[in-house]
Amino acid sequence: MEKDNSSKTELKKKKKKHSLMDAAFELFTEQGFGNTSISDIVERAKVAKGTFYLYFKDKYDLRTIITVHKAEHVFLKAWEEAGIKKEMEFEDVVIALSSSIIDILAKDKTLTFFLVKNLSFGVFQRDDGNREGLDFHAMVHEILEHSEKKYRDPEILLFFIFEFLGSASYSSIIEGVPVPIAELKPKLLDTLQGILKMYEC
Amino acid sequence: MEKDNSSKTELKKKKKKHSLMDAAFELFTEQGFGNTSISDIVERAKVAKGTFYLYFKDKYDLRTIITVHKAEHVFLKAWEEAGIKKEMEFEDVVIALSSSIIDILAKDKTLTFFLVKNLSFGVFQRDDGNREGLDFHAMVHEILEHSEKKYRDPEILLFFIFEFLGSASYSSIIEGVPVPIAELKPKLLDTLQGILKMYEC
Amino acid sequence: MEKDNSSKTELKKKKKKHSLMDAAFELFTEQGFGNTSISDIVERAKVAKGTFYLYFKDKYDLRTIITVHKAEHVFLKAWEEAGIKKEMEFEDVVIALSSSIIDILAKDKTLTFFLVKNLSFGVFQRDDGNREGLDFHAMVHEILEHSEKKYRDPEILLFFIFEFLGSASYSSIIEGVPVPIAELKPKLLDTLQGILKMYEC
Amino acid sequence: MEKDNSSKTELKKKKKKHSLMDAAFELFTEQGFGNTSISDIVERAKVAKGTFYLYFKDKYDLRTIITVHKAEHVFLKAWEEAGIKKEMEFEDVVIALSSSIIDILAKDKTLTFFLVKNLSFGVFQRDDGNREGLDFHAMVHEILEHSEKKYRDPEILLFFIFEFLGSASYSSIIEGVPVPIAELKPKLLDTLQGILKMYEC
DNA sequence: TATGAATGAGACTTCATTCAT
DNA sequence: AATGAATGAAGTCTCATTCAT
């Protein structure tokens, strides 16, 4: 009857849930979401089939939970690695953050693939209301307000930047098209910077 | 006894095949590929189940065939509507073609959705070897060679342009994010032009 | 495309459907409806599991179809065996029909059990609108109109008679309570006759 | 250390058992026995799943216990409300008791439904050996012996009366067929009286 | 006594594919 | 070429029951 979030039982529950999430993440990226069955997932996670339904409503629910989890992780890590501070200029923040995101994704093809396939490109700039504790959009806007240089159509500018970043990074990281990411990265950041300049007031 | 590719029988065959393709396209866009069964398709196409296997290996085969078919149609129509000629400057070709593509897609949300979901963004610039009769890539390169102005990294430039075009158009047309396509289009073309200028030698 | 109700295929279909109905009837009476699974049914009918769904929506649908089928059979046989004719007096019809119904049910415990369990006592006098081709209620009323003797509250009289008949026969046939049906039958018919007399105008 | 059957612990135990019985009764009548799971029951009873097995063997055991409990309650209440005394005539007892039973059931459709569905009509006159503390049959026979008027086949007479009563009341109370119980009741009691008269020696 | 996480058998159902007609 | 009945593997999900706490 008592809720006891730090007991041994509670820890075991967390472990089971994470086993399932990890197994599912692997399988979704290995075989695709559509080709992965719940049987596959529980088998790899080494839990009983019924246990799945203790933690997730169905396969779709599990996917959403994994996706949000992974995406938040990328954002937070990139923000941190980029050493972003409130006082920085907007342009510098965008470039530094983009650079960090590229680095993080480049190191993890699997993650890149998973995020793009499951978030329909939009995760970087859209807020779906389901997220807790992380409002990337708000963070970026705050920087924008503190920035000395001002920009035309800041919403659209941000949209362009992150569509561009996401879509080009994906092709390069996953398929090496048109060139590998190491080679594309400087050009990509240059082009982003060029776009930013275009929108300066 | 004689092979007559235009006989009544041949026409009837084509009709069945097209019924299946049309029914599948509708269902894929209505319910998603994963939720559409072959039963659904043959039912809507008013054809027996066995007939499906006379024309397609499986659902995946059907999807590929439809996708290529639709994509070619968009390219050709855009090329034509843009009134592109070999003598034109590369920049003008890119802008005119982009504009036409946006117009065509904006008029057909369903088609936009289908193409982006099934081509993984890359259809505009990648050649998958399966296509017959249409080499978009070659056509663009020919223009580039005839152009007076020259460009750095033309492969990457083209890649950036079409990734940007595809990904931004999709969000705007389908989800109206960040603004509807009518409003986004001029800014998008301006930004493309800005990118082109950045890459001029 | 052509509907051909008498072909070999059509005959095979009827056979399959009846295999399923027969197997289900046996299992429902042997183990109860709730304890019989579709796997059990198809196994006994020696058809594939998927075949079940070609003919019935689910287990409940199958039960309804069997029940109606069996009930109609009992009515028609009783009517026939009782040698009922339009000119007969209502009282004689009721007694003769009741007698035949008791005989038919007494010979087939399994059927009696099935009908009572699945029709919630009411099948004999209620018309559920789903039946085709057999309107027992109308047939009885026609007799009533042709009869010389008239009765008070004929609806209620009929209701009492068939509730009484169904419920008492069931207990006696299935459980031998309070005495076996052979012994109960004359008393039951006498009592019915007494009730009829009570309602004569 | 001492066994104290009326201690606080004992009361708490009884409370849990009754919570389970009440929850189950509600659910069985709301959704049917077959569609009610043990999870449903313990959830509504606000008791842990394992606790169920402390008090009942399984769902079937629980049903039997509830049914007997409810049926006994109806008999005792009817007996009491009818103001039955040993010296009364059998006919008067039967009619008074029937009237009370109808009244009690008519006020509680849910209970009527539950009893009929779970006792297969026979509860009023049959002794299943599981019952403790209440021998309805014996009570009625005692009256019969003290009665001045004597009856042929008293077992069968009682059987007829209670089958008739149970089955007709059920239809009328639950389904309003052929007329609502308020309207049916006097005719039903009249008919019962007629049957009693038929069996007088 | 009481809990509720975990189990895994098994229920229901769908569906791609085959094949006799 | 066309049909559609039949198949049965495989999927999703439920649920009674157990057992460590």
Q: Phi, psi (5° rounding) for residue A37?
A: -100, 160
pLDDT in tens, B3-45: 445 555 566 667 899 999 999 999 999 988 988 999 999 999 9
CB C159 within 8 A of CB D178: yes
Q: Tell me the mean pLDDT in the region A108-131.
A: 65
Instruction: Please tell me the distance from the alpha carbon of residue C38 to that of residue C52, in angstroms, as a whole number.
Output: 8
Does nucleic acid strand E have an atom less than 7 angstroms from the CB of D48?
yes
Among C184, C67, C200, CA closest to C122: C67
> Which nucleotide lies nearest residue A37, CA to C1'?
F11
Residue B129 has pLDDT above 60, yes or no: no
Cβ–Cβ below 8 Å for D168 and C168: no
Amino acid at C38: I
The token pair at B39 is 């039963």
Residue A2 has pLDDT above 80, yes or no: no
If you count them, how many residues does chain A have?
Answer: 201
Nearest CA to CA, how far is A88 from chain B (Å)? 25
Cβ–Cβ below 8 Å for C168 and D191: no
| Rounded CA–C1' distance between C15 and F6, in angstroms | 13
**B near A: at least 3 beta-carbon pairs less than 8 Å apart:** yes
Residues 53-82 of A with CB under 7 A from strand F: 53, 58-59
| Rounded CA–C1' distance between C45 and E18, in angstroms | 22
- Partnered with residue C200 across adjacent β-strands are C151
| Rounded CA–C1' distance between A23 and F18, in angstroms | 26
What mean pLDDT, rounded, does chain A reach?
86
Q: Return all residues near A183 (Cβ < 8 A) that are at least 6 apart.
A: none
Query: Which of D28, D155, D185, D198 best probes binding to C when mutated, by most C CB atoms within 10 angstroms?
Result: D198
Instruction: Please tell me the distance from the alpha carbon of residue D132 to that of residue D114, in angstroms, as a whole number.
Output: 20
- Closest chain B residue to A172 measured between Cα atoms? B159
Nearest CA to CA, how far is D9 from chain C (Å)? 38
- Partnered with residue B151 across adjacent β-strands are B200
| Rounded CA–C1' distance between A124 and E16, in angstroms | 38
User: Can you tell me whether residue C151 is helix, strand or coil?
Assistant: strand
**pLDDT at residue B134, rounded to an integer:** 60
Does nucleic acid strand F have an atom less than 7 angstroms from the CB of A37?
yes
Q: State the SS3 of B93-155.
A: HHHHHHHHHHHHHHCCHHHHHHHHHHHCCHHHCCCCCCCCCCCHHHHHHHHHHHCCCCECCHH
| Rounded CA–C1' distance between A12 and E5, in angstroms | 9
CB D20 within 8 A of CB D45: yes
Block residue for tokens 């034109």: B88
The DSSP call for residue C174 is I
Among B151, B150, B171, B173, CA closest to B160: B151
**pLDDT at residue B11, rounded to an integer:** 62
Query: Which of C31, C36, C127, C163 best probes binding to D when mutated, by most D CB atoms within 10 angstroms?
Result: C163
Instruction: Please tell me the distance from the alpha carbon of residue C192 to that of residue C96, in angstroms, as a whole number.
Output: 11
> Which nucleotide lies nearest residue B54, CA to C1'?
F1
Instruction: Please tell me the distance from the alpha carbon of residue D164 to that of residue C195, in angstroms, as a whole number.
Output: 12
**pLDDT at residue D2, rounded to an integer:** 42
Domain boundaries, chain D: 1-56, 67-198
At residue B126 the predicted structure's pLDDT band, cuts being 50, 70 and 90, is very low
Instruction: Please tell me the distance from the alpha carbon of residue A181 to that of residue A173, in angstroms, as a whole number.
Output: 5
Largest CA distance in chain C: 61
Cβ atoms within 10 A of the Cβ of A99, count?
19
Q: Tell me the mean pLDDT in the region A182-186.
A: 96
Angle between helices C90-107 and C59-81 (to 10 degrees): 130
At residue D12 the predicted structure's pLDDT band, cuts being 50, 70 and 90, is low
For C1-56, which CATH class?
mainly alpha
Residue D3 has pLDDT above 90, yes or no: no
Residue B2 has pLDDT above 50, yes or no: no
Cα angle at B136 between B134 and B141, to 5 degrees? 135
pLDDT in tens, C5-29: 557 788 888 899 999 999 999 999 9
Cβ–Cβ below 8 Å for D184 and C121: no
Instruction: Please tell me the distance from the alpha carbon of residue A72 to that of residue A59, in angstroms, as a whole number.
Output: 20
Q: Which of B153, B171, B195 sits opposite A163 (nearest CB)?
A: B171
| Rounded CA–C1' distance between A39 and F13, in angstroms | 12
CB-side neighbour CA atoms (13 Å) of C38: 15
Instruction: Please tell me the distance from the alpha carbon of residue B45 to that of residue B38, in angstroms, as a whole number.
Output: 10
Q: Return all residues near D3 (Cβ < 8 A) that are at least 6 apart.
A: none
Instruction: Please tell me the distance from the alpha carbon of residue C23 to that of residue B145, in angstroms, as a whole number.
Output: 77
CB B149 within 8 A of CB B200: yes
What mean pLDDT, rounded, does chain D reach?
85
Cβ–Cβ below 8 Å for B121 and A164: no
Instruction: Please tell me the distance from the alpha carbon of residue A24 to that of residue A32, in angstroms, as a whole number.
Output: 10
Amino acid at D194: G
CB A124 within 8 A of CB A174: no
Q: State the SS3 of chain A.
A: CCCCCCCHHHHHHHHHHHHHHHHHHHHHHHHCCCCCCHHHHHHHHCCCHHHHHHHCCCHHHHHHHHHHHHHHHHHHHHHHHCCCCCCCCHHHHHHHHHHHHHHHHHCCHHHHHHHHHHHCCHHHCCCCCCCCCCCHHHHHHHHHHHCCCCECCHHHHHHHHHHHHHHHHHHHHHHCCCCCHHHHHHHHHHHHHHHHHHHEC
Q: Which residues of D touch C (CB under 8 A)?
A: 33-34, 121-122, 125-126, 153, 155-156, 158-160, 163-164, 166-168, 170-171, 175, 177-179, 184, 187-188, 190-191, 194-195, 198
Residue D49 has pLDDT above 60, yes or no: yes
Does nucleic acid strand E have an atom less than 7 angstroms from the CB of C60?
no
- Chain B hits for A160, Cβ within 8 Å: 164, 168, 188, 191
Cβ–Cβ below 8 Å for B194 and A190: no
**pLDDT at residue D15, rounded to an integer:** 86
- Chain B hits for A137, Cβ within 8 Å: none
H or E element that contains C55: helix C49-55
Cβ–Cβ below 8 Å for D178 and C159: yes
Query: Which alpha helices (DSSP H) does C120-170 contain, by range?
Result: 136-146, 154-170
Nearest CA to CA, how far is A2 from chain B (Å)? 42
- Chain A hits for B159, Cβ within 8 Å: 168, 171, 177-178
Block residue for tokens 């009765």: C151
Amino acid at A196: L
- Counting as low any pLDDT under 70, the low residues of chain C are 1-6, 119-135
Burial B12-49 (b: 16+ CB within 10 A, else e): eeeebbebbbebbbbbbbeeebeebebebbbebbebee
| Rounded CA–C1' distance between C33 and E9, in angstroms | 20
pLDDT in tens, A31-74: 889 899 999 999 999 999 999 999 999 999 999 899 889 988 99
The secondary structure of D49-96 as a DSSP string is HHHHHHH-SSHHHHHHHHHHHHHHHHHHHHHHHTT--TTS-HHHHHHH
Block residue for tokens 């409990």: D69
- Partnered with residue A200 across adjacent β-strands are A151
What mean pLDDT, rounded, does chain C reach?
86
- Closest chain D residue to C187 measured between Cα atoms? D156
Cβ–Cβ below 8 Å for B159 and A175: no
